[in-house]
Structure 1
Amino acid sequence: MDRIAAAVEAIAQRKKELFGLLGELIAHPTVSPPARNSTEAQSLIARELQRLGFTVDRWPVFPGDDNVVGRLPGTSPGKAKSLIINGHIDVAEVGDDAGWTYPPFALTEGGDGRWYGRGVADMKGGLAASLFAIKMLREHGVKLAGDLLFQSVIGEEAGEAGTLAAIERGYRADYAVVVDTSDLHMQGQGGVITGWITIESPTTLHDGMRAKTIHAGGRVHGASAIEKMMKVIASLQELERHWAVMKAYPGFAPGSNTINPAVIEGGRHAAFIADRCSLWITVHFYPNESHEDIIREIEEHVRRAAAADVWLREHPPTFRWGGRSMIEERGEIFPSLELDRDHPGLSALQTAYEQQLGQPPKTDMSPTVTDAGWFAHAGIPAVLFGPGELEQAHAVDESIDPQQLVQFAQVMARFIASWCNTEKVGKG
């Protein structure tokens, strides 16, 4: 038996160690929001990486929430393919844990054979299994010619750009695998961006002035920002319907590209005409679209609608898009990922899957969004591939099939050993 095969076999034989590592991660309640609570969990990741020979870079993205990136230098850096394995350490809210059958922050084997705990599927399972795969490769003497980077980032659950911060710090590779929840499918994704549209009057008028702003002969050029926002909302609905008819992407149901008027804030008091109104929208778009293009399209459409209104053309809406945190800025961006089905990285991952599981993987589109889009936005080819069913993410009594965790770790071990020992030839 060669070293790679021995490492893969050891993953199954020593799966209790994998579950033990996952249990340690689950025990740290890195719930986001409120976030700012990942110090101990990230320290655990950093220690594991150091034990495996990685050099570790750790820095604060927000107080109490550090990114951890480990680099394992290859034996022939620059000559062989490099790889990023990426996952987020934060988990979804639990709410009232009285509704849970099993304690959310203790890995528990249920009577149905599944493992329970917050984050087992989304996505501490993917982090633990990837780390364990690397550990088995190291213990069995499998050398990697290309650099291997392991990223444990913060903030994905609250739209906080932990992965973007790692990219901005200079971490790049020839391919990236985001080991978030995908039920072992290999996926691309659409994108999401939030934005604020604001209408503001330069003057504040008392409620008693309303008759003069709306009746003939009143001769006061004023308006309610709330009422004018209704025209903006109507224009967004018109654009959403147009998108549903004119845009499509394989793997998505028609009309998946939506504009949701999620929150509206306006007015100051019942004794005044509303002089300010803000609308918070959430926009879903397709993998072949960028959030920059979507911003331009929405702003142009709304401005044209505003230009048709006698008051709005002089007091046009303003826009604020995205943000690096839903907690700090009330804004987020998840860029899209159009999967390159011909990329050699995806081919190598598919081959590893077939070698281990004896059948080709499902390659499709995720119905949700993850940090994978940040890699595509930075020009780094990437794929979403991880254990756990999406319906378990954020669920009460979140659970995962332990056999799938083992299978994922085995596929990743094969893929890492293959990809990081592939000679660079040209691009890709």
Structure 2
Amino acid sequence: MNPTEQRISEAVEAASDRIVETLCALVSFPSIVKSDPREAGPGEHDCQHYLKGRLEALGFATDLWDPDGPALLEKYRGRPGAHEGRTFEGRPNLGGTLKGSGGGRSIMLNGHIDVVPPGSRDHWRSDPFQPVVEDGFVRGRGTVDMKGGVASMLMAIEILKEIGVDLAGDVVFTTVVDEEIGGMGSLAMVDRGFTADAGIMTEPTANRIAPLCHGILWGRIILDGIGGHAELTPNSWDGSGPVDAVQLVRQMLDGIDILNRRWTTDPRKNHPLMELPNQVIVTQIQAGEHPSSTAGRGEIVVDIQYLPHEKDEFGLGGHVKREFEAHVAAVCQADPYLRKKPARVEWILDADCAEVPADHPFVAAFQSAAEAAELSPALSGFGAHSDIGLPTSLGGTPTVNFGPGDPAQSHQPNEQVSIRDLVDCTKAIALAIHRWCGPAKA
């Protein structure tokens, strides 16, 4: 580590309390994403304004805007990130650029400031939006997913500026909304023209460099039974009388289990950087209308993972959709009633994925910076979905995931990130910026 990088490392360590304070300030904004994407969360606007002020104090030229959802849908219909029904009034994106002296490579730091609802207050040891610093951790909604990462990327830039490390390349800072319900905020960011030679998305990865993430499909399987009196009328599998949709749901769940077992050993569903194979995850089940009536309808909601090599010609999961639909149809063929009245699959969401090659120059530079920060340079896959596909594939900014915190803490009550993780993440990002963008020419 050269003298400049030693100064960077020491300055980050000395700024530990300020990194924590920055995260606490961000958590205190209840920037909850609404299930109805036409509604603004109570703190999205205020959180972005706070970050805008911090960026402008560092000399960034900033851009705060409410994206035009309908216009984006019209422009990108059928492409990644384009979703029906999105409006962004009061839900701004934020972008900023800090110009370098010239001649260096640019970097984009990206995060989302929307968080999922905290759930039942009874499950929390403290108010989810009153951050608590305790036993070496910061607790509160969004500390892991992903305001811890946003705090780290902001403080990395702030510390470089404070100790007089001037850069040759530009630093681009972007924070978006809408990530937790599909990623149209990231689409709007790329459409706005925010790009760079490489990017870091600070989703929680336990400070491991993850140049790969899953795509996800959300789908709804609809099974139509025939209602009847549960105590008086037996199932009539030819459809002439009641058919219990609860039993149809059970059969379909068994069929999904069979598919998952098949995917466990299918090379197409596995990746060397991913710990687990792709799976069809059942997340919601609904059936029945009355306690003493057989269910006339059943619904199963699934979350299906796919890998970058499975993307279709539009950069989405069309191949996997058709594969799943064929499996559902095969399950129906095994049942006399469902052969006549097969299940239907309705698709709710398709969120794309990406992979930056392990031999990309930025990946190597970031691995070197992580090692200098005394972190593992080993690459890993990000098992959940993140928005890296949009800047990577659409914007031409090869982007990796890297952020503080155990990703399994995401969306949980009492979500918390360790202070050590925050400091280490900030250090690695600051060193990566310096190495990638290069020192300003004298």
Query: TM-score, normalized by length of structure 1?
Result: 0.78
- Unpaired stretches in structure 2, ≥5 consecutive residues: 67-86, 312-316
Do the aligned residues in 2 keep the contact of 1:4 with 1:140 (CA within 8 Å)? no
Match of 2:266 in 1: 246
Q: Which moved more, 1:281-290 or 1:48-57?
A: 281-290
Match of 1:393 in 2: 410
AA aligned opposite 1:169: R
CA–CA distance in structure 2, aligned partners of residues 275 and 399 of structure 1: 43
Match of 1:129 in 2: 152
1:176 pairs with one of 194, 199, 202: 199
Q: Secondary structure at the match of 1:363?
A: coil
Distance 1:161 1:422, change over 3 A: farther
Match of 1:362 in 2: 378
AA aligned opposite 1:81: R
Alignment deviations for residues 189-222 of structure 1 (CA, whole Å, 9 cap, x no partner): 3332211234679xx9999xx999866xx9x799
Match of 1:84 in 2: 108
AA aligned opposite 1:416: I
Do the aligned residues in 1 keep the contact of 2:275 with 2:381 (CA within 8 Å)? no
The answer to whether structure 1 residue 149 and structure 2 residue 166 are counterparts is no
How large is the Cα RMSD of the aligned pairs? 3.8
Alignment deviations for residues 265-312 of structure 1 (CA, whole Å, 9 cap, x no partner): 567789999886543222123454332321121123334555787876
Match of 1:328 in 2: none
AA aligned opposite 2:426: A
Q: Secondary structure at the match of 2:20?
A: helix
Distance 1:206 1:364, change over 3 A: closer
Distance 1:198 1:168, change over 3 A: farther
Match of 2:41 in 1: 36
Alignment deviations for residues 130-163 of structure 1 (CA, whole Å, 9 cap, x no partner): 1111112223443333332212112333445322
Query: TM-score, normalized by length of structure 2?
Result: 0.76
CA–CA distance in structure 2, aligned partners of residues 194 and 394 of structure 1: 18
Match of 1:24 in 2: 25
Give, in angstroms, the shift of residue 69 of structure 1. 1.6
Match of 1:105 in 2: 129
CA–CA distance in structure 1, aligned partners of residues 273 and 219 of structure 2: 26
Do the aligned residues in 1 keep the contact of 2:234 with 2:242 (CA within 8 Å)? no
2:161 pairs with one of 108, 129, 138: 138
The answer to whether structure 1 residue 403 and structure 2 residue 420 are counterparts is yes
CA–CA distance in structure 1, aligned partners of residues 252 and 119 of structure 2: 35
CA–CA distance in structure 2, aligned partners of residues 69 and 363 of structure 1: 28
Match of 1:93 in 2: 117
AA aligned opposite 2:272: P
AA aligned opposite 1:249: H
Give, in angstroms, the shift of residue 24 of structure 1. 1.4
Spell out the pairing of 1:408-419 with structure 2 (5 A cutoff): 408-419=425-436
Distance 1:116 1:277, change over 3 A: closer
Spell out the pairing of 1:139-218 with structure 2 (5 A cutoff): 139-187=162-210, 188-198=212-222
Q: Secondary structure at the match of 2:111?
A: strand
CA–CA distance in structure 1, aligned partners of residues 171 and 297 of structure 2: 51
CA–CA distance in structure 2, aligned partners of residues 15 and 370 of structure 1: 27
Q: Secondary structure at the match of 2:153?
A: helix
Match of 1:352 in 2: 369
AA aligned opposite 1:128: A
CA–CA distance in structure 2, aligned partners of residues 99 and 273 of structure 1: 35
Do the aligned residues in 2 keep the contact of 1:36 with 1:62 (CA within 8 Å)? no
CA–CA distance in structure 2, aligned partners of residues 253 and 125 of structure 1: 24
Do the aligned residues in 2 keep the contact of 1:336 with 1:376 (CA within 8 Å)? no
Give, in angstroms, the shift of residue 40 of structure 1. 0.8
Do the aligned residues in 2 keep the contact of 1:223 with 1:273 (CA within 8 Å)? yes
Match of 2:305 in 1: 284
CA–CA distance in structure 2, aligned partners of residues 231 and 113 of structure 1: 48
Give, in angstroms, the shift of residue 397 of structure 1. 3.3
Distance 1:177 1:276, change over 3 A: same
Do the aligned residues in 1 keep the contact of 2:165 with 2:439 (CA within 8 Å)? no
Do the aligned residues in 1 keep the contact of 2:208 with 2:376 (CA within 8 Å)? no
Q: Secondary structure at the match of 1:293?
A: helix
Distance 1:95 1:222, change over 3 A: closer
Distance 1:257 1:80, change over 3 A: same
AA aligned opposite 1:346: V
Do the aligned residues in 1 keep the contact of 2:91 with 2:177 (CA within 8 Å)? yes
Q: Secondary structure at the match of 1:342?
A: coil
CA–CA distance in structure 2, aligned partners of residues 384 and 27 of structure 1: 24
Give, in angstroms, the shift of residue 341 of structure 1. 1.4
Distance 1:227 1:167, change over 3 A: farther
Match of 1:72 in 2: 98
